[in-house]
Structure formats: C-alpha cells, structure tokens
A = this chain, B = another copy of it.
C-alpha cells in the first residue's frame, strides 16, 4: 500500500464499508488473470450505499490524490472484470446501491440504482405484476447500469443500438451532482421518457469514460407482446456466413427482424453444451473436419443464429414465413421456432430462449469451462463492422487465421447491434491455470487490435490490458479524438482521481511527454 493511500483509507472507512484484506480483495481482481499476475490490483474496496457517501468518497480522493475505479457489479468478464487499470486504486463498488427506485407501468420504464442486477430488476417487475419485459444481457448477475455504461449488449427490441437508457444522475469528479436531460429541471415530469434536455445531451459522455459516477438511471421496458417466438437458423457450411449476414441485413433493414441476434460459430455454441476434449485432444486448434463432425453430431450447424420475434400473433406469423423463406434459399439452411405466450417464457428449457425473452440466469456462463473443470477464462476481442457478408468473411478470415496460429480456437458471436452493423465478439478461451496459454491469448488479442484496425475495424469495448492500444488505433487527425477526451477529462477532473486510464483516457498528471 502506498503512503498516499493510507490516510485516505482511514477517512474512507468512516464513510462506508471498506474492504482491505487480501481475501476480500481477491474477489475484485480480473477472474481470468493468471494467478501470480498483480498489475491490476486494488488497494481497497469501498462500498457506499448513498449518493452522499459517493460525493464524500470523491472529495476524499481529491484531497489525497488517490485514484478511484468504479463498477456496478463488476461483471465485466472478458474485459478485465472489476479490476482497476492503475494498481493500488481504491475500487468504488456500487453493489450495495441495488434498489429499484421506480417502475412506471403507464410509460413503461424503471429507475434503478447502479448496483441493480438483471436478476433484481426482473424480480421487481414480476413482484409488482407489471406486464413489462426487460431486455437483458446473457448472464443475469451483471448490473443494468454497469452494462449500459460499458456499451454492453442486450437482445430484445430495445437492445437495438443499445437504446434503453433514458436519463441519468451522476456524481462528477469534484463531487457535484448532475442530472442529465430533462432531469436538469427540478421535478420535471419527462426525465425518463425523453432522451434529451435543452442544450447538449451528456449521457453518452459518461459511458466508457472516466467523467463521473452514475448513481441513478432510467431504463425503458417493453410491454409484453401477444406472442414471443424464439428462432434458430442453422447453416451447414462455413462460407454460408456471407449469405446469412446479407439476408439478415435486408430483414433487419425492412423491420422484419427488430432485436439483437447472435450468429454463433459451432465451437462457441458447443462450449455451452460440452467440453473441448470430447472433440479434439490433438495439438493446436480443432481441425475443420472435427468442426464439421461437432456441428453434425450436436445438430448445431457450422453457424447457428439465435433470434426472435415479438408482437401480435398475426404479424409474427407473417414475419416468420418471410424469414423462413428468405434464409432457406441458402442450401441446407433451416429456420425453426415455436410461439410462446409471455407467461410461459420462464419455463422454457433453453437458456438462450429465456434470455431473449428477458428471463435472467447464469446458465450461459458455462462456456468458460471449455478446457474442463470449473476454472476457465476468456478475453473478448470485439471489433465492429458493417453488416455485410463481405465484412463478415474478411473479419472471420483475419481472426480465425491469427487465433489458430496462436494454437487457440476461433470462437465467434457476430452480434448485429442494428440493421447496419455488427460487433464481432471473439471469445479467446483459455485455461487460466496454464500460464503459457493465458499469455498466448493476451498476446494474440493485442496483435488482433492492430491488424483489425489496418483493415478498418475498431473495437467497441476494450480489455483492461490493452485499452491504451485499442484507443491508439483511433488516431484520425493526429489523435484529435483522444485530445478532445483529455481536454474534457482535465476540465472535469483536474486532479485526475476518477478511473485514470479508462478507455485510454489519462489525466494530465499521468500523461507522457
């Protein structure tokens, strides 16, 4: 513990629960980092329960020059978990600020604290008997606010363009309390129904940044539709990816499909269902012939798309017929699905069908055990591309080639976040007990950052360990965007106490040169 931190910790302990033991701090490391790596470790974790406590924590940090690092629940798996960028930072964990503050049934929204998990909000909606659905992430333990602030993906119609956030309350680095949009007017009635205010709208400035600590947020909910219809598309050949993506774009552009699908490679889907050594125990990545066998035996196709329809039954029927006919023009492709009443979603067997229907669980976390046992890890490498077959193939070839060269498996989820673009989430899966394999995964991810950028693809979200490298690729105008971010950082946080290094944004005192 550095000498500057000790007196600050004493003051922080008077404000809120403070954790400092090695055992407690272990929970706030990157769960997938190799055991002896200690670059991203916190000196303490403070757990406020009120906005006033956060304001006091920020003021103490300013007085002592102690860096803070914030999370909602800290489930940022694949991107560094809850760990801070700067060693010795004090983690501000908002896990105890987990109250659902309001559910407005008439205008279909909720207001939540930053520690509210998908589980918590789902349960509050159920408990209140509201006929409303929440667009959720794959794993239910994450925080709604935390996911939103990291540009996290959800899958129902409001997941399109990450569109469900409306109105924020934020503690600024100097301890001031800001309300965005219409919330800037006291007692304004439209804070959580209209996304802007009068003047510039700062909400997205607090996402993937280090400009403030969000303490409250509005979340739009969807009225339960007459029918929910989870759908599956399977195709048999690796190169079918191109017509799948081109067909999907047309069906999303014309509004036939309006939600966030996932196009999954065979091994990624297999990792949810089985372990790796069932398919291959030879040296290096799984060969193509074995991938074909895996696809055949698990009946998952070389690519599988999970998606869904929501709406009036007549509209769902029309759209299903149109979707089926469009995709089944691809030889060997098939589209299947079953209509479900909203009340029956929680009883569905497949976790994906529950997730797309807004029912959270931890089931989809199983993929981390690809290499057996209970331990497992992954790094997310996630560039964005136009939603075209050509771009999908270009990224697949680049990523598969480099990852297999590193002796690892190419496991891909292409996530069309709107009708025009997709995030190519590449899960680089490794055995966290194998230091060489863990290092190989980190190394190839870093090579991918540069090589994808050369082809014009940038990450939507960066792992703690290569945030700087990922941010460096956004270099137009001699890094004009980063200088812009730094100018705002220095103005809002002159002492540089809040999350230094987040998204590659460093305060003046820590910048080189």
Report the minimal beta-carbon distance from A87 to chain B, rounded to whole angstroms: 22
CA distance A39 to B4 in the complex (A): 56
Contact A190 to B484, CB < 8 A, known contacts A107-B388, A199-B505: no
Residue of B nearest to A313 (CB): B318
A82 on interface, CB distance cutoff 8 Å: no
Contact B491 A178, beta carbon cutoff 8 Å: no
Contact B384 A178, beta carbon cutoff 8 Å: no
A73 on interface, CB distance cutoff 8 Å: no
Q: Which of A428-458 contact B (CB under 8 A)?
A: 453, 455-458
Contact A199 to B417, CB < 8 A, known contacts A254-B225, A457-B188, A480-B177: no
Category for how many chain A residues contact B: 35 or more
Q: Which B residues lie within 8 Å of A473 (CB)?
A: 185
Contact A481 B197, beta carbon cutoff 8 Å: yes
Q: Which B residues lie within 8 Å of A296 (CB)?
A: none
Q: Which B residues lie within 8 Å of A487 (CB)?
A: 491-492
Residue of B nearest to A491 (CB): B491
A205 on interface, CB distance cutoff 8 Å: yes
Contact A503 to B421, CB < 8 A, known contacts A179-B480, A190-B384, A194-B460: no
Q: Which B residues lie within 8 Å of A328 (CB)?
A: none
Q: Which B residues lie within 8 Å of A172 (CB)?
A: 480, 484
Contact A180 to B417, CB < 8 A, known contacts A204-B204, A312-B318, A504-B199: no
Of A207-215, A231-239, A267-275, A284-292, the one contacting chain B is A207-215
Q: Which of A380-427 contact B (CB under 8 A)?
A: 384-388, 391, 417-421
Give per-residue flags for A446-477: 1 if the beta carbon is below 8 A from chain B beta carbons, else 0. 00000001011111111000000011011111
Q: Which of B186, B190, B200, B505 contacts A207 (CB 8 A)?
A: B200
Q: Which of A142-177 contact B (CB under 8 A)?
A: 151, 157, 161-163, 166, 172, 176-177
A337 on interface, CB distance cutoff 8 Å: no
Report the minimal beta-carbon distance from A81 to chain B, rounded to whole angstroms: 19
Q: Which of B196, B202, B505 contacts A460 (CB 8 A)?
A: B196
Q: Which B residues lie within 8 Å of A199 (CB)?
A: 208-209, 471, 474, 481, 485, 503-505
A315 on interface, CB distance cutoff 8 Å: yes
Report the minimal beta-carbon distance from A169 to chain B, rounded to whole angstroms: 9
Contact A184 B481, beta carbon cutoff 8 Å: yes
Contact B189 A456, beta carbon cutoff 8 Å: yes
Contact B190 A201, beta carbon cutoff 8 Å: no
Report the minimal beta-carbon distance from A110 to chain B, rounded to whole angstroms: 12
Q: Within the oligomer, what is the number of copies of this chain?
A: 2
A488 on interface, CB distance cutoff 8 Å: yes
Q: Which B residues lie within 8 Å of A459 (CB)?
A: 198
Contact A198 to B461, CB < 8 A, known contacts A188-B456, A315-B318, A491-B488: yes
Give per-residue flags for A231-257: 1 if the beta carbon is below 8 A from chain B beta carbons, else 0. 000000000000000000110011110
Report the minimal beta-carbon distance from A210 to chain B, rounded to whole angstroms: 9
Q: Which B residues lie within 8 Å of A387 (CB)?
A: 107, 193
CA distance A96 to B228 in the complex (A): 50
Contact A223 B254, beta carbon cutoff 8 Å: yes
A320 on interface, CB distance cutoff 8 Å: no
Contact A318 to B314, CB < 8 A, known contacts A186-B476, A204-B201: yes
Contact A453 to B189, CB < 8 A, known contacts A196-B151, A254-B223, A461-B198: no
CA distance A88 to B252 in the complex (A): 50
Report the minimal beta-carbon distance from A167 to chain B, rounded to whole angstroms: 11
CA distance A447 to B473 in the complex (A): 51
Report the minimal beta-carbon distance from A193 to chain B, rounded to whole angstroms: 4
CA distance A177 to B479 in the complex (A): 10
Residue of B nearest to A197 (CB): B474
CA distance A318 to B179 in the complex (A): 41
Contact B201 A207, beta carbon cutoff 8 Å: yes
Residue of B nearest to A462 (CB): B198
CA distance A300 to B128 in the complex (A): 42
A40 on interface, CB distance cutoff 8 Å: no
Q: Which B residues lie within 8 Å of A491 (CB)?
A: 487-488, 490-491
Give per-residue flags for A319-342: 1 if the beta carbon is below 8 A from chain B beta carbons, else 0. 100100000000000000000000
Q: Which B residues lie within 8 Å of A106 (CB)?
A: 249, 386, 388
CA distance A456 to B191 in the complex (A): 10
Contact A182 to B503, CB < 8 A, known contacts A199-B485, A220-B420, A253-B108: no
* Additional A-B contacts beyond A193-B420, A198-B458, A202-B205 (8; CB < 8 A): A107-B420, A176-B484, A184-B481, A185-B473, A186-B476, A193-B386, A199-B505, A200-B503
What 3 pairs across the A-B complex have the smallest Cβ distances?
Answer: A491-B491, A193-B420, A184-B481
8 examples of A-B residue contacts, CB within 8 angstroms: A163-B163, A178-B481, A189-B386, A198-B474, A199-B485, A199-B504, A202-B204, A255-B311
